[in-house]
Structure 1
Amino acid sequence: MTSPEGRKWLLLIHQLPPQPNALRVKIWRRLQQVGAVAIKQSVYVMPLSEQSQEDLSWTLKQIVSGGGDGSIGVVRFVEGLTDEQVIALFQTARKSDYQKIIQEANTLLTDWSAGTLDPQDPAVKGAAQVSKLQRRFEEVATIDFFQAPERGTAEILIQDLAARLSGQSSSENAGMHTLDGLNGKIWVTRKNLFVDRIACGWLIRRFVDKSAVFKFVDADTHTPEPDQIRFDMFDGEYTHEGDRCTFEVMVQRFGLRHRGLVLLAEVIHDIDLKDGKYDHAETNGLNALLSGLVASRPDDDQRMDEGMQLIDNLYAYFQRQKGKLAS
């Protein structure tokens, strides 16, 4: 049971006439555009804000003018749905939006990294493609009220595309790194952890610094300090490079090449970049477990601790499979 002092929400309850069907489609599209999510048939919820109030009020006027009726109320969920479950509904809705952007951006990065296409060639229309992705990202981000985990990946990929378009590299440190000097640092990454950041945290604790300290920040406002190392953040010391996720970049730079880690990196890649490049049987299972973790653990410290255990279990499995293959 959620405390009566929990989060306040706006609820739209409406009823539409059976005809015309065009009105149903119009209202459904309008609710999608403003970022409302359905908690049951004809009942939609949004976080309480002036903008949400305005958006739902205009939607209700359209419903009434079309012959329907409805009402808007401010509510708290005290039985049944919890605030965390409602937030998970919003994050799931935005997940599919970001996944489409990620897939398209990753395709462009793969083509541009392979050298088959020059993004600065006018015939490629690289600037137009990046601008289109940026506009789509901004539209989704506007209604991403609770920072879906996939948001950061989409943003980093678009920023990488823009950097390549201008002839710059998104990373200043692309060479091999030794592990010397990394102990005792504070490792900084974006809030609302998901697969790439959790896997990187596991890699840091396992191979770099067993006592590593993590800090989770708002990427747009964070100013790095001298004792901090940023990962999975644009302009961070470790982040996406081309069609490789941050975990793959770290594995390569740390010179960690054994098979168990390579297989793990391929699974992390497919979950994060959503391109099905390696298509391991274990990918969907880990994705489901981590998605459940995100839905049930809003606290990033808990996500990191429990997520690292999931990663460690899969790594142990791959190591065992490696032994079987060698025998």
Structure 2
Amino acid sequence: GAAALRDGVYLLPKSESARAVFAEQAQEVVAAGGMAHIVAFDGEDDAQHREFVRLFDRSTDYAELFGRLDAFKTEIAKLDEVEARRQAAALRRDIAALGAIDFFPGASRHQVESALADAEAALNARFSPDEPHAAKGIIPKREKAQYRGRTWATRARPWVDRVASAWLIRRFIDPKARFRWLKTPKDCPKTALGFDFDGAEFTHIGARVTFEVLAASFGLHNDRAIARLGALVHYLDVGGIPVPEAAGFAAIMAGARAQQANDDKLLHSMSAVLDALYASYSELPGGES
């Protein structure tokens, strides 16, 4: 993200993260017998400061992304779901990467973020027309004992949040859970526990997606492996902070969905993937607790 002042001279805005990188590099240089100093400086005056800031203008990069988003929205009707979601994930990733080096965000960034939200709304309208809207309120605490041996219902042909939520339910909340896959939310039986649609017992609340709401409801969010899975599901469902494993998980999910027309078999296939991810996350520092 550094800007070139001239050959061999680069400028980077002062930040704790940048200083940490330079400090690590300086230690390596000193350890190898060299000399290194970290020097911070300010512009000579306001005019020079403005000139430095202009070096980090990302508006041209945002314009290119805006054009890609516009083309994507035009093409959604012609794309199959796997390809549409692949392109959406790539756009989300590239926008996040640019945002990470946009040290002085302005109107261009807000315009692209708004266009991304519009594109994702168009994507959901095409492939997930009953995608829930976030409700307001607090997440009530639930007792697992009252939710055992139940029928749980969600929309058919599940994508990431619904599959991960179903896995979480069967793995940690209701081991004998039965699932109903609904053509539309209005088909949900009154005796079933609905999840991930408007009006469901468990759905998006505030900034949390359904997986995160379920985890918080049943006191599972303190398990850091589940919290990490929640971050993955959140990013793939509504965007936000990028997760390294997201692209790989989305590709596996898309492939399994293309192979399995039966939603119970799809859940079975993806449960093995989620079990493996949970085990991997549990092995990381600060994992299962």
TM tier, smaller: 0.5 to 0.7
Q: Is the 8 A contact 1:219 1:233 kept in 2?
A: no
Tell me which of 224, 227, 231 is aligned to 1:266. Answer: 231
Identify which of 153, 157, 170 aligns with 1:188.
Answer: 153
Is the CA contact (8 Å cut-off) linking 2:151 and 2:177 kept in structure 1?
yes
- 1:250 and 1:217 mapped to 2: Cα distance? 19
Question: Could you give the per-residue CA deviations for residues 231-264 of structure 1, whole angstroms, max 9, x where no partner exists?
Answer: 1111101001122110001111111112111111
Once the two structures are TM-superposed, the CA of residue 274 in structure 1 deviates from its matched residue by 2.2
> Residue 170 of structure 2 corresponds to which residue in structure 1?
205
Aligned residues between the structures: 194
Cα deviation code 1:104-136 (max 9, x no counterpart): xxxxxxxxxxxxxxxxxxxxxxxxx9xx969x9
What's the secondary structure of 1:241's corresponding residue? coil
Determine the C-alpha separation between the residues in 2 that align with 1:196 and 1:304: 12
* Among 295, 298, 301, the residue aligned to 2:258: 295
CA contact (8 A) 1:97 1:140 kept: no
Contact persistence 2:282–2:288 (CA under 8 A): no
Give me the whole-angstrom Cα distance separating, in 2, the residues matched to 1:240 and 1:185.
Answer: 21
Partner of residue 35, structure 1: 77
Mapped contact 2:224–2:288 kept (Cα < 8 A): no
The correspondence of residues 175-254 of structure 1 with structure 2, limited to 5 A, is 175-225=140-190, 227-254=191-218
In the TM superposition, 1:132-211 aligns within 5 A as: 137=121, 141=125, 144=126, 148=127, 150-152=128-130, 155-156=131-132, 159-160=133-134, 170=135, 174-211=139-176
TM (norm. structure 2) is 0.57
**C-alpha distance 98-233 of structure 1, shift in aligned 2 (>3 A):** farther
The answer to whether the Cα contact below 8 Å between 1:171 and 1:237 also exists between their aligned partners in 2 is no
The offset of 1:221, in angstroms, is: 3.2
The change in CA–CA distance for 1:228 and 1:171 in structure 2 (over 3 A counts) is: farther
Summarize the Cα distance change of 1:139–1:192 in structure 2 as closer, same or farther, 3 Å threshold.
Answer: closer
Q: Which residue is equivalent to 2:81?
A: 91
Equivalent-residue separation in structure 2 for 1:324 and 1:254 (angstroms)? 18
Pairs within 5 Å for 1:66-77: none
The one of 257, 262, 285 equivalent to 2:248 is 285
* Separation (CA, whole Å) in 1 of partners of 2:199 and 2:259: 30
Tell me how far apart the structure 2 counterparts of residues 198 and 133 of structure 1 sit (CA, whole Å): 24
Larger relative strand fraction = 1
For 1:271, give the aligned amino acid: L
Q: Given the superposition, is the C-alpha separation of residues 180 and 92 from structure 1 closer, same or farther in structure 2, using an over 3 Å criterion?
A: same
RMSD of aligned alpha carbons: 3.5
Which amino acid letter does the alignment assign opposite residue 35 of structure 1? A
Contact conserved, 2:223 with 2:288, CA < 8 A, in 1? no
Say if 2:151 and 2:178, in contact at 8 Å, map to a contact too: yes
Gaps in structure 1 of 5+ consecutive residues:
1-28, 38-89, 104-128, 161-169
> What secondary structure does 2:225 align onto?
helix
**Deviation at 1:180?**
2.1
Structure 1 CA distance for aligned equivalents of residues 233 and 123 of structure 2? 27
CA separation of 1:95 and 1:280: change in aligned 2, threshold 3 A = closer
Sort the Cα spacing of 1:187 and 1:291 in 2 relative to 1 into closer, same or farther, 3 A.
same
Deviation at 1:322, TM superposition (A): 3.6
Cα distance between partner residues in 2 of 1:264 and 1:250: 12
TM-score relative to the length of structure 1: 0.51
Could you tell me the percent identity over the aligned residues? 26
Deviation at 1:93, TM superposition (A): 5.3
List alignment gaps of at least 5 residues for structure 2. 1-70, 94-113
